[in-house]
């Protein structure tokens, strides 16, 4: 499963997996663009086993319903959390969540957590999250995870979200040792998202940016290679090598506490009850025990 598989690194990743004969589930928000990408992948790979699912990752209720339907009909070996956004002015979802946080952090959290029971049924299951080296320029700000009290800068908010993904990856790995979790920096890649959200950055680097196919190299290695599966789970990779990340235990606890409380605030997750009803004994208390 590749989220955001209709363009950029996600599309390049989906195509290469399809070319190698894999069954690919594209999870996308824009149906027209996604249908075009699916058709192109089928034509160029010769693989008909490309399925399309229209899901808005910024809406936790929609994500949960999607997983409930998906697991009735499909199996899953690898989840690639690629989709993301960089909204440069503060914007709220219908649930009142800051749009970048809702998509890049909460959406990844809901989708991954809900799919863990599906992944655990398979041999060699993996979860790969496309983070960004840009997160290394930001200290994790646990006092304002939804950018409510500080001057809004979309690029810095995105970097914060990518740090939050690294925190989640480490904690998932600790809680679910039968699944290999990883997150990674694809390098600086010439994608539609970079051109749209960071035009100045794109103009300055120009030809030095990596191609979309090059940006997919570490994703594919982590998703498919036997040598990747023997690497420690829960780590952050750059160019197929483990890279250090810096944050403190209180920072990890603050991110998780926010995710545990934001659900009830939007009327989705029952306060003090199950985070997502993926199993009878998966509770907020269990999650707090990760730390």
Q: Which residues belong to the active site?
A: 158
Residue 92: what are its φ and ψ, rounded to 5°?
A: -105, 145
How far apart, in whole angstroms, are the C-alpha atoms of residue 46 and residue 212? 20
CA-nearest of 86, 176, 163 to 129 is 163
Q: Which two tokens stand for residue 146?
A: 């939804």
Strands 24-28 and 2-3 come out as parallel
How far apart, in whole angstroms, are the C-alpha atoms of residue 198 and residue 61? 30
Category of 104 on φ-ψ map: left (φ > 0), alpha (ψ -120 to 50) or beta: alpha
- Alpha carbon dihedral 108, 128, 251, 116, in 10-degree steps, equals 60
Q: How many residues does the chain have?
A: 291
Residue 272: strand pairing partners: none
State the angle between helix axes of 8-19 and 217-224 in degrees (0 to 180), rounded to the nearest 10: 50
State the angle between helix axes of 107-119 and 60-73 in degrees (0 to 180), rounded to the nearest 10: 20
- Reading across the β-sheet that carries 2-3, which strands appear in turn? 50-54, 24-28, 2-3, 78-81, 126-130, 180-185, 235-238, 241-243
């Amino acid at each position: 499963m590749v989220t955001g598989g209709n363009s950029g690194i996600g599309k390049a990743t989906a195509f290469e997996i399809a070319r190698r004969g894999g069954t690919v589930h594209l999870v996308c928000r824009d149906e027209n663009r996604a249908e075009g990408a699916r058709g192109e992948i089928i034509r160029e790979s010769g693989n008909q086993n490309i399925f399309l699912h229209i899901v808005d990752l910024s809406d936790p209720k929609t994500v949960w319903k999607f997983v409930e339907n998906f697991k009735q009909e499909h199996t899953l070996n690898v989840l690639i959390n690629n989709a993301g956004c960089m909204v440069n002015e503060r914007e709220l979802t219908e649930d009142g969540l800051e749009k970048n946080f809702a998509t890049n952090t909460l959406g990844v959290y809901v989708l991954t957590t809900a799919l863990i029971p599906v992944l655990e049924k398979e041999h060699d299951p993996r979860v790969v999250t496309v983070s960004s080296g840009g997160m290394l320029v930001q200290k994790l700000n646990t006092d304002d995870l939804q950018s409510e009290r500080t001057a809004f800068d979309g690029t810095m908010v995105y970097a914060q979200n990518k740090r939050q993904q690294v925190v989640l990856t480490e904690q998932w790995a600790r809680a679910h040792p039968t699944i290999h979790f990883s997150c990674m920096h694809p390098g600086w890649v010439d994608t539609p998202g970079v051109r749209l959200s960071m035009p100045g950055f794109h103009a300055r680097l120009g030809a030095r940016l990596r191609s979309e196919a090059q940006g997919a190299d570490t994703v594919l290695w982590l998703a498919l290679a036997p040598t990747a599966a023997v690497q420690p789970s829960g780590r952050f990779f750059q160019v197929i090598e483990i890279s250090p990340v810096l944050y403190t235990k209180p920072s990890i606890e603050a991110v998780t506490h926010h995710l545990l409380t934001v659900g009830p605030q939007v009327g989705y997750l029952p306060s003090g009850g199950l985070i997502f009803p993926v199993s009878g004994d998966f509770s907020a208390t269990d999650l707090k025990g990760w730390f």
